[in-house]
Structure 1
Amino acid sequence: MKFRKVIESGIITAALAVSSVTTAVSASAAEVDTTGVVGSVLDRASQIASTGIQSVQITHQNAQAAAAAAAQAAEWANKMLVTVDENSSLNIRKEASQDAEVVGKFYHGSGAEVLEVGAEWTKVKSGDVEGYVSNAYCVFGEEARVYAEANCETQATAKADGIRVRESYSTDAKILDVIDAGESLKVNTDAENVDGWVSVECNGVTAYVAAAYVDLDLDIDDAVSMEEIRAREAAKAQQAAAAQSGNTDSTASSSAAVSASTSDTQLLAAIIECEAGGEPYAGQLAVGAVVMNRVKSGSFPNSISGVIYQSGQFTPARSGKLARVLSNGKISSSCYQAAAEALAGADNTGGAKYFHAGTSGSGLVIGSQIFY
């Protein structure tokens, strides 16, 4: 290894210097008092060795920095971000033409993997959407990274369960919250930079987590397909009509339907996305059913928002994940459909009011979660 070789070179140089001087001194020791000379030469040899090691340390640090920069450049080489503002969107088209069918949309803070770059259009893939975007509204590679750092949130994601969120950057500071593996908090990039700690936003206040237990990533959204957009609009229209008429159609209903505003429908769909976005549809419906069973039970708050935001109940509500999903609108059509069915009275859990991850234990296993 080059690092090791440089260190050995420095030590060998010093050793040779000491050996040479010692030999010379031995040869003339009978005629000259060499005590001072030997001491001086040994000091010089020590300086040579020390300088060699310091040089190696600097070289190693430079190599590490260069490697990190190269890795970052490679990571962003095939990335792009859109530059539209928060009130705009960018169409993704089926072909590289302004007249081609729109297959999805990018919103502010969205990005994609670059598949093919053209003079005016670039083929990209983002989430479930693949198509062409106009280069005029995109930035690529290093420019995309700089844009993302300036315009996208940075998230601190827990690497393990039970990560403490503290009031200050000390292990003696008050614990404000505890997050589990996969849960994220927004990084407060304006806060004081403290070695070994990451400043985050927790329940509206500045807090700190130990840097060793979180991964830091830019929160870049995927594109939204036209199917998802249409499903959202249909679900909102359906629930708005139901709220106005006081009637809701029910499929596989086992309990009374509940009228809900458009905002309640979106909130229910969002918590389903957070808790079961990667689950099969039955698992998504089950989460919606748990919320509605609580609303109707008399033992919990009697509103959808009251149940979801009840203290100590739904982790995404307190971690900030739910707020981010509501803000960016990244909710799948299946989660909207599950919310609509749950609101209509569908319940595939047998009246469950609780659930947790896992497939062993008492209760009804649906997907990778147990309902009871």
Structure 2
Amino acid sequence: MLLMGVVTSVGEAVTLGNRLLYFGARGNDVKSLQKELAKEGYFTVEATGYFGPITEKAVIDFQKDNGIRIDGMAGYETINELKDENSYKNTANVNRASGYRINVTQEELNLLTRAVYSEARGESYEGQVAVAAVILNRVADPRFPNTIKGVIFEPWAFTAVHDGQFWLTPDPKVMNAVHDALKGWDPTEGAVFYYNPAKVTSYWIYTREIITKIGRHYFAK
């Protein structure tokens, strides 16, 4: 019994990432894992510090969505991916590939995720990253508002905001595309406009120089 007590104390003392976590594990590092998973929307109950079936399923779902080997255990790769994903939620300034620094609040991260989901939920992963990149490119462009929130809610800027689709509950997977855009991936190569020719309501958009086409969207300067 004394030995068991010592093992439990050590387990509770270690920090997240110092040991492999799997079904049956207990400790503060398991609780930290649960909290990290909760930030990503994979763990929806109270963090207990016990690695049971709910935690295992959350880990498996996270691994599936992030291209990690699916084994239901939180090892080096899974934990580091979680920390990388959640680092953006606590970062005040994000460096774009262009060197421009964009202030990102938790509110604006949520708004950006909604914008991408409502505007590009039927597009490929690259197409979703591209829409997020356009919004970030506008923030860096003096012709547009200089905050993510300002760009998104600029009058008539986005159809989904105007018609109310913006307020649909986004798929958590879309946040991965948002994070990739924040890391600097810009499939549009600097575009500040995009449009679907089948849904154009203002022919002015055709005056813009096209850079590339991704899915159903044309991206322009």
1:339-360 per-position Cα deviation (integer Å, ceiling 9, x unaligned): 223233332212111111149x
Check if 1:241 corresponds to 2:81.
Answer: no
Q: Write the distance in 1 (CA, Å) between the matches of 2:154 and 2:44.
A: 37
* 8 Å contact from structure 1 (residues 273, 331) kept in 2: yes
Per the alignment, do residues 344 and 357 of structure 1 end up closer, same or farther by CA in structure 2, a change over 3 Å counting? same
Please state how far the C-alpha of 1:235 moved relative to its aligned partner. 7.2
Alignment counterpart, residue 171 of structure 2, candidates 325, 331, 344: 331
What is the deviation of 1:239? 1.9
Judge conservation of contact 1:257–1:343 (CA < 8 Å) in 2. Answer: no
Higher relative strand content: 1
Q: How has the CA–CA distance of structure 1 residues 363 and 240 changed in structure 2, closer, same or farther, with 3 Å as cutoff?
A: closer
* Deviation for aligned residue 1:90: 8.1
Any conservation in 2 of the 1:277–1:332 contact (CA below 8 Å)? no
2:140 and 2:158 mapped to 1: Cα distance? 17
Picking from 103, 115, 137, the partner of 1:293 is 137
Q: Are residues 336 and 266 of structure 1, via their aligned partners in 2, closer, same or farther at CA, if it must alter by over 3 Å? A: same
Residue 187 of structure 2 corresponds to residue 348 of structure 1: yes
* Secondary structure of 1:371 counterpart: strand
Letter in 2 for 1:227: F
- Looking at structure 1, the residues matched to 148 and 44 of structure 2 have their Cα atoms a distance apart, in angstroms, of 33
**TM superposition shift of 1:301:** 1.1
Q: Is the 8 A contact 1:291 1:304 kept in 2?
A: yes
Query: Could you tell me which amino acid in structure 1 is paired with residue 171 of structure 2?
Result: I
Contact 2:129 2:187 in 1 (8 A): yes
Q: Aligned letter for 1:288?
A: A
**Structure 1 residue 227 corresponds to structure 2 residue 62:** yes
Which among 92, 110, 115 is matched to residue 271 of structure 1?
115
For 1:164-183, list aligned pairs within 5 A.
none
Aligned residue identity for 2:156: G
Structure 1 gap segments, 5+ residues each = 1-88, 92-98, 105-224
Conservation of the 8 A alpha-carbon contact between 2:132 and 2:178: yes
More helix by share: 2
Q: Cα–Cα, structure 1 residues 300 and 90, in superposed 2: closer, same or farther, change >3 Å?
A: closer
Residue 138 of structure 2 corresponds to residue 303 of structure 1? no
Give CA deviations for 1:86-128 in whole Å, capped at 9, x if unaligned: xxx988xxxxxxx645636xxxxxxxxxxxxxxxxxxxxxxxx
Task: State the Cα RMSD in Å.
Answer: 3.2
- Higher Cα Rg, which structure: 1
Query: Using the alignment, how far apart are the partners of 1:249 and 1:241 within structure 2?
Result: 14
How many aligned positions are there?
A: 144
Q: Once the 2 structures are TM-superposed, how far is the Cα of residue 297 of structure 1 from its aligned partner?
A: 0.7
The percent of aligned pairs where both chains have the same amino acid is 27
The answer to whether the 8 Å contact 1:354/1:371 transfers is yes
Counterparts of 1:356 and 1:337 in 2: how far apart (Å)?
22
Q: What's the secondary structure of 1:293's corresponding residue? A: helix
Alignment of 1:1-372 (within 5 A): 100-101=53-54, 103=57, 226-227=61-62, 237-243=86-92, 246=93, 248=94, 253-325=97-169, 330-333=170-173, 335-358=174-197, 362-372=210-220
Q: Which amino acid in the other structure matches residue 369 of structure 1? A: H
- After superposition, the Cα gap between the structure-2 partners of 1:298 and 1:279, relative to the gap in structure 1 and judged at 3 Å, is same
Measure how far apart 1:309 and its partner are: 0.8
Q: CA deviation at 1:249?
A: 6.6
Cα deviation, 1:294-349, whole Å, max 9, x if unaligned, reads 11111111111111111111111122211232xxxx3232x212222323333221
What's the TM-score once normalised by structure 1's chain length?
0.34
CA contact (8 A) 2:102 2:147 kept: no
Q: Distance in 2 between matches of 1:336 and 1:90?
A: 17
Partners of 2:150 and 2:83 in 1: CA distance: 25
